[in-house]
């Protein structure tokens, strides 16, 4: 039936209809179509249908009915969300989930194809972007949402999805993302982690302990000691305990994290009081790993303050660098990760989250085993790299210019990322042939250089130097880009099995 309808819509609209997008609803038929590299909304309905007045576009007659052809505009996407309920993000709960960041707004079809080709049993997040990334790409929270919703519509995904407002740092961030309809809120209190706690002298530690915001914590030093000292916590056979020094270091390192997360949670609960929401806590962007007793402290204190969250991202041992596989001893990682997974169950069950989770192929099976499927995988930058792969395949000279620009800006842009790429290890732009350029996407140093400079590339010359041509290439080659994403992201999902 969808094929017949798409053929009919092609005849009456003159557009290339995307067959999987065709959906009959009430007295109308909705579909996405292409006019060259531009996407269009197509609606076929009786002349008196209410939907013809609800959407913007041009009308034409067809055998007693009318056909509306309109843009994939914010207004039309909002109206689609009112009509087709499955275009609204929803809560994912404890289902195994994967977040797919999209810095350009055209990756969702590839994400969906990877899910369909993968092992199944993943709840997806299609709208996912941090405030930092929104700033660097020049996109608003509403644009991130609208682009993902349009991709869901065009690809015909009707099995539900979440929307992650990632790495939020202020109540104002929550307000902006709530207005756009996000349902999953990742709180990033990284700036409140006291990384010096690891190495403080006893006197400095005591001073920092005394200076903790005990009132905001609704706590006292004596009560905190009573809850943790002189006892052993049996975490599925792993015994954890605190010395007084260890407890003080955990509280000094993460005490202000607890107060910040609690404040953000209370604000979120007010803003979303009549709307669905769930929260993730992220403490992964810190200088040192989260020790098991520290994980216990964070989760226990948040529970005490009646904070509710669905997933937590500790800072694991080893290096989770952008765009490359895990760097570290896998046996040590597995032993450490197993206890973190047990702690998540001990504390009442929440998902462990793998941030900077892109391309960490060597640890996926370990994570799947120890979390027993209660896990969230977060990817982002790898989708940008696949966009660049598509550019390198379609227009090598243009990609060469992007790569040269990225090299020039790497030393500045790397400041906010955990990366170890060195410019002198990455080939010079003129040292490789056009045919060899695409291989730079997979060379360790070049890959990280391209990964972290996305903001500079997109904003070069006020967004006019690279962005228009980049989007033109992707919109002219949508199947190539979707295929590249499907291939790579299926590699991410397959190790988790059924």
The residues assigned a catalytic role are 166, 280
CB half-sphere exposure, 185, CA atoms < 13 A: 34
Contact 213, 255 (CB under 8 A): yes
Contact 100, 66 (CB under 8 A): no
Contact 437, 396 (CB under 8 A): yes
How many Å apart are CA 122 and CA 95, to the nearest integer? Answer: 7
Bridge partners (DSSP) of residue 363 are none
Contact 66, 85 (CB under 8 A): no
Contact 123, 160 (CB under 8 A): yes
What are the structure tokens assigned to 398, written together? Answer: 């243009």
What are the structure tokens assigned to 240, written together? Answer: 């954890």
Dihedral sign of CA atoms 197, 203, 208, 209 in order: positive
Contact 50, 34 (CB under 8 A): no
How many Å apart are CA 459 and CA 461, to the nearest integer? Answer: 6
Relative orientation angle of helices 396-413 and 381-394, to the nearest 10 degrees: 150
How many Å apart are CA 167 and CA 179, to the nearest integer? Answer: 17
């Amino acid at each position: 039936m969808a094929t017949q309808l798409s053929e009919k819509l092609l005849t009456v609209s003159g557009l290339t209809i995307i067959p999987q997008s065709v959906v009959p609803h009430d007295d109308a038929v909705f579909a996405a179509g292409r006019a060259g590299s531009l996407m269009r909304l197509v609606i076929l309905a009786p002349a008196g249908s209410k939907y013809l007045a609800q959407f913007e576009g041009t009308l034409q007659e067809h055998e007693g009915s009318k056909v509306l052809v309109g843009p994939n505009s914010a207004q039309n996407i909002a109206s689609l969300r009112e009509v087709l309920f499955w275009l609204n993000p929803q809560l994912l709960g404890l289902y195994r989930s994967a977040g797919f960041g999209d810095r350009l707004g055209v990756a969702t079809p590839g994400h969906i194809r990877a899910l369909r080709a993968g092992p199944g049993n993943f709840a997806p997040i299609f709208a996912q972007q941090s405030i930092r990334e929104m700033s660097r790409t020049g996109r608003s929270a509403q644009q991130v949402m609208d682009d993902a919703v349009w991709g869901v519509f065009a690809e015909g995904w009707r099995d539900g999805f979440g929307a992650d407002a990632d790495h939020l740092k202020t109540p104002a961030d929550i307000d902006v993302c709530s207005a756009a309809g996000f349902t999953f809120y990742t709180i990033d209190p990284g700036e409140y982690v006291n990384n010096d706690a690891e190495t403080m002298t006893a006197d400095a530690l005591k001073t920092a302990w005394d200076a903790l915001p005990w009132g905001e914590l609704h706590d006292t030093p004596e009560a905190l000691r009573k809850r943790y000292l002189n006892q052993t916590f049996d975490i599925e056979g792993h015994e954890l305990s605190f010395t007084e020094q260890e407890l003080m270091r955990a509280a000094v390192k993460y005490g202000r994290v607890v107060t910040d997360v609690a404040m953000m949670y209370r604000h979120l609960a007010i803003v979303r009081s009549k709307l669905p929401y769930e929260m993730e806590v992220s403490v992964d962007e810190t200088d040192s790993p989260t020790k098991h007793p520290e994980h216990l402290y964070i989760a226990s204190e948040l529970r005490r303050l009646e904070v509710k969250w669905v997933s937590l991202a500790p800072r694991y041992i080893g290096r989770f660098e952008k765009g490359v596989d895990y760097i570290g001893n896998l046996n040590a990682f597995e032993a450490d990760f197993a206890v973190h997974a047990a702690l998540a169950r001990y504390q009442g069950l929440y998902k462990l989250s793998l941030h900077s989770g892109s391309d960490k192929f060597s640890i996926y099976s370990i994570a799947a085993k120890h979390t027993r499927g209660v896990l969230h995988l977060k990817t982002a930058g790898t989708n940008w790299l696949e966009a660049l792969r598509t550019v390198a395949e379609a227009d090598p000279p243009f990609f060469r210019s992007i790569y040269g620009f990225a090299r020039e800006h790497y030393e500045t842009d790397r400041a906010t990322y955990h990366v170890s790429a060195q410019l002198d290890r990455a080939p010079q732009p003129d040292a490789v042939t056009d045919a060899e350029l695409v291989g730079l996407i997979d060379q360790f140093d070049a890959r990280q250089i391209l990964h972290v400079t996305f903001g500079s590339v997109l904003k070069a010359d006020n967004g006019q130097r690279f962005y228009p041509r980049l989007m033109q290439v992707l919109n002219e080659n949508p199947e190539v880009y979707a295929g590249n994403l499907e291939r790579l992201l299926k590699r991410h999902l397959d190790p988790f099995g059924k």
